[in-house]
Chain A
Amino acid sequence: METQLPNPVRPAFETPLHDDTVIVNIGPSHPATHGTVQIIAELDGERVLRTDVHCGYLHRGFEKECESHTWHNLIPYIDRLNYVSALINDFAYCEAVETLMGIEITPRCRYLRTLLSEYSRLVDHLTCIAAGLMELGAMTAFLYLVMIRDYMYEHIANLTGARVTYTYGRIGGLARDLPDGWLESLAGILDKYEEFLGRVHGLMDRNRIFIDRMRNVGTISTAEAINWGYTGPILRSTGVARDLRKDMPYLAYAELDFEVPVGIIGDNYDRYYVRMREMDESVHMIRQLMDMLPPGPINVDDRRCVLPEKSLVYTEIESLINHFKLVIDGPQVPAGDVYAAHESPNGELGFYLVSTGEGVPYKVHVRAPSFVHMGGVHRMLDGYQLADIVPTFGSVNMIGGECDR
């Protein structure tokens, strides 16, 4: 086994541009790049001249693995794309499969998915902002945000049984309905959230140190952001209100009252503030949805994808066969291809599915916002200080799970 393999990474540049510049390697295991990502940078003193970003350290063959599991069985795997807001992955994927099957979910499921999507967005943004602030030394704000996030994690665990990767979406519905008293405790958590967020606003928004580190750093213009494929909070921070929830409403978003916060110049501060404001809008939406949530079933009555009731499985042969067929062969999804996208906390999360009419997908492709953002992140790093890489990269919120798949 002495074959000489090349270095796993080939940098885009190996010779410095000038006599007095130096090329350094940052990562892939660096505490400030939450996620394993490698940045090869050429520095002129402390200034970054150019960067070459490498991802893929978390690549685990997700799309290949999907081709050998039934449509249902790969839901736990879908969770592990953006593991901070796993529910949104689930719902986007389920919607793609449901479109192929021509299924319309029940009203209660539709509102519940919307509510949980917004709840997930809250958790995701809290994590992103908390980590970003901590890296700048704002430990207090970090603890406030992570504390409220943990209330939410525990609360979602009461519903789904898991803290982070929930496996809660189902094709044609959801795993289970809300437990008793869940909405009441949600209202309490939202009140707490507002109290804690007020403190973070007070600590950070006009903090001189924070503004000096964030204002006019990592700036990107709208035209450039669109050219490099940016979506989500990064695109909105440049000043345009591009949000799939408004532009191509899915789930129950068309019926909700909410605003799309935008930034001014697309720098780190704008990205921080857009996320902070988006969380407020999410809370506003969750409160509306808590009142709108209709009673009724959460799963569609369709034996092609939804398991029959347990009592029937034990007592009648048709349901038993139905159960076995769904578990062993998987739901038979009509042949065709579909692209379904949701506004995930990081941007447009799209699923491109190809079915040949079997219980196993022929192809699953994920349009992961983090991966696309990595393609253009050097535009925000080049020309700034070496120390600015940390807050800029934090504000991009790269999630290794969905970036590298």
Chain B
Amino acid sequence: MAAPVLDLVQQRLAPAFGEAALAHGMLVVTLPPAALLDAVRLLKAEFGFDLFLDVTAVDWPGHAQRFEVVYHFYSTQHHVRVRLKTRVAEQDPTVDSLIPLYDAARFMERECHDMYGIVFRGNADLRPILLYEGFVGHPLRKDYAKDHEQPLVPYRK
């Protein structure tokens, strides 16, 4: 059932945008940040990947492109998932926001911004969501020590 769609996705996405491989039964497409929005638009319009599942990042310190931003999408027609990966450098950790395609991206991009400091171009609302205003740093980065302490909020008088 699932395989034919994935084959089609692979044929369409891989040559145009990046490289594709299967990992534990899931199609993984690795592409440059500039191609992200177009690739996702294609996924949604042509292959019915209408459910934006998740966005997160993986921190690989020491790599030239330090952050790997990982997306998951689900097609409610074909019942398959696909994973997109793109890498950005620490100096400019910016990717395009997917809000034009999915409103679900609003909150999840905020979380990813909180935790890794990834900037989603086009998401105007990157206020802290799980953290709070005044939190310094991005806790899921590998160079953020687990026992690092934050400035304490003073008691109200």
Interface residue ranges, A against B (CB under 8 Å): 1-3, 5-10, 12, 54-56, 59, 61, 63-65, 67-68, 99-100, 226-229, 231, 240, 242, 247-248, 336-339, 341, 348, 350, 352, 354, 362-363, 365, 367, 371-372, 374-376, 404-405
Contacts and interface: CB of A to CB of B under 8 A. Distances in A.
A227 B133 contact: no
Contacts of B111: 371
Given A339-B72, A354-B58, A100 B24 contact: yes
A229 B23 contact: no
B56 to A, nearest CB: 4
B81 A339 contact: yes
Contacts of A65: 146
B128 interface: yes
Interface string B113-157: 001000000000101111111100001100010100001111000
B79 interface: yes
A388 B112 CA distance: 31
A184 B96 CA distance: 56
B151 A229 contact: no
B41 interface: no
B121 to A, nearest CB: 19
Interface in B63-108: 70, 72, 74, 76, 79, 81, 83, 102-104, 106-108
B154 A367 contact: no
B130 A405 contact: yes
Which A-B residue pairs are the 5 nearest by beta carbons?
A: A375-B107, A229-B104, A8-B132, A56-B130, A247-B79
A48 to B, nearest CB: 19
B36 to A, nearest CB: 18
A283 B115 CA distance: 40
Contact of A348 (B53, B56, B103): B53
A30 to B, nearest CB: 18
B145 to A, nearest CB: 10
A375 B130 contact: no
B51 A6 contact: no
A356 B33 CA distance: 24
Nearest to A56: B130
B55 to A, nearest CB: 10
A10 B127 CA distance: 8
Contacts of A12: 125, 127
Contact of B130 (A55, A247, A341): A55
A6 B134 CA distance: 6
Given A65-B146, A339-B72, A365 B139 contact: no
Given A226-B50, A348-B53, A376-B104, A338 B24 contact: yes
Given A8-B133, A9-B133, A56-B132, A99 B24 contact: yes
A375 B111 CA distance: 11
Given A5-B134, A61-B139, A375-B107, 17 more contacts: A3-B151, A5-B151, A7-B133, A8-B134, A9-B133, A56-B130, A56-B131, A63-B115, A67-B146, A68-B146, A226-B50, A227-B104, A228-B103, A337-B58, A352-B54, A375-B106, A376-B104
A260 to B, nearest CB: 13
A242 B50 CA distance: 13
Contacts of A229: 51-53, 102-104, 108
Contacts of B140: 63-64, 363
Nearest to B154: A1
Given A229-B53, A375-B108, A376-B103, A10 B133 contact: yes
B118 to A, nearest CB: 13
A207 to B, nearest CB: 34
Nearest to B106: A375
B141 to A, nearest CB: 10
Nearest to A6: B133
B26 interface: yes
Contacts of B51: 226, 229, 231
Contacts of A404: 130
B153 A8 contact: yes
22 contacts: A2-B154, A5-B134, A6-B133, A8-B133, A10-B133, A56-B128, A61-B139, A63-B140, A99-B24, A229-B103, A229-B108, A242-B76, A248-B79, A341-B81, A350-B53, A354-B58, A362-B58, A365-B56, A371-B107, A371-B108, A371-B111, A375-B103
